[in-house]
Amino acid sequence: MNKKFTCVDLFSGAGGLSKGFMDVGYDVVLGVDNDETALKTFSMNHGNAVTMKLDLNDHSNLDTIVDFLDGRNIKLDVLVGGPPCQGFSYAGPLDINDKRNFLYLAMVKLTDKLKPQAVLLENVLGMIQANEGLGAKRVIDDFAKIGYKMIPKLLFAPDYGIPQIRKRVFFVGLRDSGEDFEFPPAILDAEHYVTCEDAISDLPSLQTETGDIIRGTELQDYMTAPLTEYQQLMRRNSEKVYNHIGAIPIDKTKKMISLVPEGKNYLALPDEYRCLYKYNEALTRYHSKKPSLTINTGHRSHFHYKYNRIPTVRESARLQSFQDDFIFYGNKTQQYKQVGNAVPPILGQVVAEKLKGYLRSDE
């Protein structure tokens, strides 16, 4: 019963999903993506895991993964991944025939080759809502053909202690099993959600006494001792603050955001300024007493609940539930992209813990 179940992360990005698996005792052996910088972040934060840069549009590249595992005599227990499906995302034009919607087939084919005990696929809300759930039906049908009954479930991040309004669909399938995977129940209700203030109020303000925004340095001290249980968890393995470099806004932006109360956006501006903005999340200031909006990939539309600047990479990572010892690599644009594209590690963790009860240690 002490066996470490093995895990491979396909379309891994920085590896938020597999970090959750790793944190509850799985042996994450491999991360695969086509983003070299994200793979460096993955490599530096996943112990002895190997990374591969592969184009998964080309299914012949899957043999490289099979050969790697065979060469190390690794029997895969769980395959996880979050294949891009931009055609089902509400963040862009819905197009069910977008070729990126079919990247999940790489997971189907690799599952068929390796036959892990379980497979987990994470994706956007549109998979079950857009076009009468066509995306979800495709996933369920294609995995059923190879012996995996995929159970889909919409998971709401705040329900599991993550300080961010994020809805994602998880599919979990068990190999040739008569059992349906049962997802873990919510652990928090709306009155007890972790808030932005709970999550990031101990981090350096990056603001002078006169209110000027500063960049900060690569390595900083915490502003205070941990003020909440969530901050204690995030700081558990770290004594310094990384990836906390401020972006100094231009005077116009600083003026505009200073006019927006917390929890509001550009619609709260005086009439003469409101017409300057059209994007529905423009100048959105987080609310200190609520979870943040869904962390994006760095569009510069979200602002700190208190300070007149966008959240730093570290603040965004905190809101995604990455602990402070998880360091992001690349330039700031690449780091924001890695954070925004990631699955919150805590969400991966709660599913991974539940999945243990369905896995056999004798395989």
Cα(60)–Cα(113) distance, integer angstroms: 12
Joined tokens for residue 300: 């510069």
Catalytic residue among 7, 85, 196, 275: 85
85 is catalytic: yes
Burial class of residue 261 (count of CB atoms within 10 Å of its CB; 0-12, 13-18, 19+): exposed
Residue-wise burial string across 150-163, b where 16 or more C-beta atoms lie within 10 A, e elsewhere: bbbeebebbbbbbb
Element (H, E) at 113: helix 104-114
The length of the chain in residues reads: 363
d(CA 176, CA 115): 10
The label of the residue with tokens 């200073």 reads 258
Contacts of 7 (CB under 8 A, 6+ apart): 18, 21, 22, 26, 27, 28, 29, 76, 77, 78, 79, 80
CA neighbor of 315 nearest in space, from 219, 228, 204: 204
Report the catalytic residues: 85
